[in-house]
Structure 1
């Protein structure tokens, strides 16, 4: 960094305008990502791998949890689970809890909750999706390619459910 003499004759730190703007711009910094839990069960193997006339039914669930772990730092967990059945027979059950450690910079407090529960899981999703696709492929099935998730809609849905649960019941 360039030094410049101040009026007292001592060198002073000079901040470049681009660096100063970047230091004050809101942002998300990914400190780390990791598999927290991974499970794949193929209870009917090898019979579940045989071709059958009907397509299996697939049930996919998405859940997001977050907790603060330090000043402006949050652990976000994205849980994806899926179960495939053909009739009453379970073909496979799989689950991944994929975590991320995030640090927020210069984010107004009123936006922190939304960023942590919308933008952070959006960053984690492609990695968790790929892990499930690999697990199902290694389990002998076609890769499970989960459709993109609208985390903003999921956030609004949860906020509405919380508001309804907290609203006083009138008779």
Structure 2
């Protein structure tokens, strides 16, 4: 079989970004203005989550939720949550690769946008700038898959 015939039998893969949008934003400063009078030694907690919705045959909505809770002692300075959405066309990828595309590749594209929104909201709340460090969604996806594989294994005695 020639290369030309092989290409004819395998449909070409297609990946494209259709739209990026902010789906939901929340910013709370439950202890303001008194929190501004305290020494700024914050502790922040970052939580990431992604959700996939199939819109059409090859059209997917991916929503990356980024939640940051920052406290000074036991008082919450601020809580910010951003749901950064994207609509992607993903066509003719093998099933083995689709999970990675939806669970790692697409969230990796969305994260810089969510990171910028979080930084802007924190600054507009009159707090020092917050720059979230880059995240390896590939590593998070691999860890998630490993945890799923371990929980699926039957217990041996």
TM-score bracket relative to the smaller structure: 0.7 to 0.9
TM-score by length of 1: 0.80
1:98-117 map, 5 Å: 98-117=84-103
The 5 Å alignment of 1:12-161 reads 26-52=13-39, 55-161=41-147
Mapped to 2, the partners of 1:110 and 1:83 lie a distance apart of 35
* Unaligned runs of at least 5 residues, structure 2: 1-10
Query: Do the aligned partners of residues 143 and 25 (structure 1) sit closer, same or farther apart at CA in structure 2, a change above 3 Å counting?
Result: farther
Report the structure number with the largest CA radius of gyration: 1
Of the structure 1 ranges 64-73 and 95-104, higher mean CA displacement relative to structure 2 is found in: 64-73
The residue aligned with 1:169 is: 155
User: Counterpart in 2 of 1:11?
Assistant: none
Q: State the 4+ residue runs in structure 1 displaced beyond 6 angstroms.
A: none
Q: Deviations over 1:143-163 (max 9, x none)?
A: 221100100000011111111
Shift of 1:30: 1.0
In the superposition, the TM-score normalised over structure 2's length comes to 0.87
User: Aligned partners of 1:86 and 1:110: how far apart in 2?
Assistant: 44
What is the root-mean-square deviation of aligned Cα atoms in Å? 1.7
Q: Which moved more, 1:27-36 or 1:104-113?
A: 104-113
Post-superposition offset of 1:25: 5.0
Number of residue pairs aligned between Structure 1 and Structure 2:
148
Q: Which runs of 5+ in 1 are unaligned?
A: 1-23
- Displacement of 1:50 after TM fit? 2.5
